[in-house]
Structure formats: structure tokens, C-alpha cells
């Protein structure tokens, strides 16, 4: 195999990396953009944050994940933060979310699958992708709850998050199980959780 052919194979293997973040981001924009004139100062579902604060948090975490992966942080989160102007409109906040989401998907696509960066242990690019998808889906749900929009996370993306971050999740419809796994919904025969964590670090 020639060097050029070998590189083409590597590039092809990475072609889908980050696509889940892009898909989740597109869904967020589809659902929330028509409601940017609403009152985003209301609480986001069961959270203590407002819808505006929750959307800002999405951007914050997406950028943090991108920084970890691109910088190869080995022992802690890099010492930088995202500051969104308090007076930013909901539409402007969604633009910031878009920028941070695209930075994360680009960092994932550029990474080698063997790369590791710190998130309470060594985490691979697929783990950062799953966390990015989860942040987008779960907090989009919170905002829709606050704004009175009927919406649930898409099935395929929810299943991808469960498979990577919640390997012990119970069976059932993926969106409802994801919401239950993060303390946001009930499941038949199971009490609603009050604390939870996901497993992003690579084991072994």
C-alpha cells in the first residue's frame, strides 16, 4: 500500500468522526431558533438556571471539550473559560453554541482514535463526542421544558449516548431512558433518580 493510499484510508476512517455533534447541533437549532423571541429568563425545566443560562452552559461545555481534546490535556481541565456577554440575545447565544459545537466536531475529526485527554480520567475522542451530544440533547430538552415546547431527543443520538456513557442503562425507548438516566424523567417500575454520573473515561 502506498503512503498516499494509506493516508486516504486514515482520512476515510475519520470521516464520520464528529458527525454526531453536528447532527445534535442541527437539531438544537431546528427546535430552538423559532423561539428566540420568547422569554429566555424563565427556568429551564427542572434546573435552577434560566433558559438563557442553560444555553450558555451548552456552549461552555462544548468549548471545554474541544479544548481538552485539541490541547491533549492530560491531568485537568485547561485553565480557560468562555464568557458570553450577559446582554446577549437568545439568537446570539445560539450562534455561540453553534461556534463551540463546530469547534468540538472539528477537534474530534482531527483527532486520532488513540488520542486521550482528561475528563476525570483518560477519555478518547468518541467519549468527548458522546459527551458533546449529551450536553446538547439534554439541555435542549431543559430549554424546551422551560419554553413550553413539546420535544424529546432523537432516538438514534440518544442511543449513541447511552451506549457510550451509560453502559448499564435499562432497556426501553432510548430518549426516555436517557432522560431517566440523567434525572429528568420517570421510567415504569423505576423511581426518578436524584443523582447520576456518566462514564466517559476509558477503562483499562
> How far does the chain reach from its first CA to its final CA, in angstroms?
32
**Does residue 188 surpass a pLDDT of 90?**
no
**What span, in angstroms and rounded, lies between the C-alpha atoms of 97 and 140?**
11
Mean pLDDT of the 95-122 span: 97
Distance of alpha carbon 51 from alpha carbon 91, whole angstroms = 12
What cell was used for 182?
A: 440523567
Q: Mean pLDDT, to the nearest integer, of 71-96?
A: 96
Q: How would residue 195 be classed by pLDDT, with cut points 50, 70 and 90?
A: confident
Strands (E) across 64-154 are located at 117-118, 122-123
Bridge partners for 43 per DSSP = 50
* pLDDT score, position 76: 96
**Which residue spans within 131-204 are E strands per DSSP?**
none
Domain assignments of the chain as residue spans, ordered by start: 17-181
Which residue in this structure is represented by grid cell 458533546? 132
pLDDT surpassing 50 at residue 169: yes
Q: What is the pTM of this model?
A: 0.91
Look up the CATH superfamily of 17-181: dinb family like domain (1.20.120.450)
What is the full DSSP assignment across 161-173?
A: HHHHH-TTPPSS-
pLDDT class of 11 with cuts at 50, 70, 90 = very low
86 vs 104, residue with greater confidence: 104
Task: With cut-offs at 50, 70 and 90, classify the pLDDT of residue 204.
Answer: low
Q: pLDDT tens across 41-67, in order?
A: 999 999 999 999 999 999 999 999 999
DSSP state, residue 33: G
Whether residue 124 has pLDDT greater than 90: yes
Amino acid at each position: 500500500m502506498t503512503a498516499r493510499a494509506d493516508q486516504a484510508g486514515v482520512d476515510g476512517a475519520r470521516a464520520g468522526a464528529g458527525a454526531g455533534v453536528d447532527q445534535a447541533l442541527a437539531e438544537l437549532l431546528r427546535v430552538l431558533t423559532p423561539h428566540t423571541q420568547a422569554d429566555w429568563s424563565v427556568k429551564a425545566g427542572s434546573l435552577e438556571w434560566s433558559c438563557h443560562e442553560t444555553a450558555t452552559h451548552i456552549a461552555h461545555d462544548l468549548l471545554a471539550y474541544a479544548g481538552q481534546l485539541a490541547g491533549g490535556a492530560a491531568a485537568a481541565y485547561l485553565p480557560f473559560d468562555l464568557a458570553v456577554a450577559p446582554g446577549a440575545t437568545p439568537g446570539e447565544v445560539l450562534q455561540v453554541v453553534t461556534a463551540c459545537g463546530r469547534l468540538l466536531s472539528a477537534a474530534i475529526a482531527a483527532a486520532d482514535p488513540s488520542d486521550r485527554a482528561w475528563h476525570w480520567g483518560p477519555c478518547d475522542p468518541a467519549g468527548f463526542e458522546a459527551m458533546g451530544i449529551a450536553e446538547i440533547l439534554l439541555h435542549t430538552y431543559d430549554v424546551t421544558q422551560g419554553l413550553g415546547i413539546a420535544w424529546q431527543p432523537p432516538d438514534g443520538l440518544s442511543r449513541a449516548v447511552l451506549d457510550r456513557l451509560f453502559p448499564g442503562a435499562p432497556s426501553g425507548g432510548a430518549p426516555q431512558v436517557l432522560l431517566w438516566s440523567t434525572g429528568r424523567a420517570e421510567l415504569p417500575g423505576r423511581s426518578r433518580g436524584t443523582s447520576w454520573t456518566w462514564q466517559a473515561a476509558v477503562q483499562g
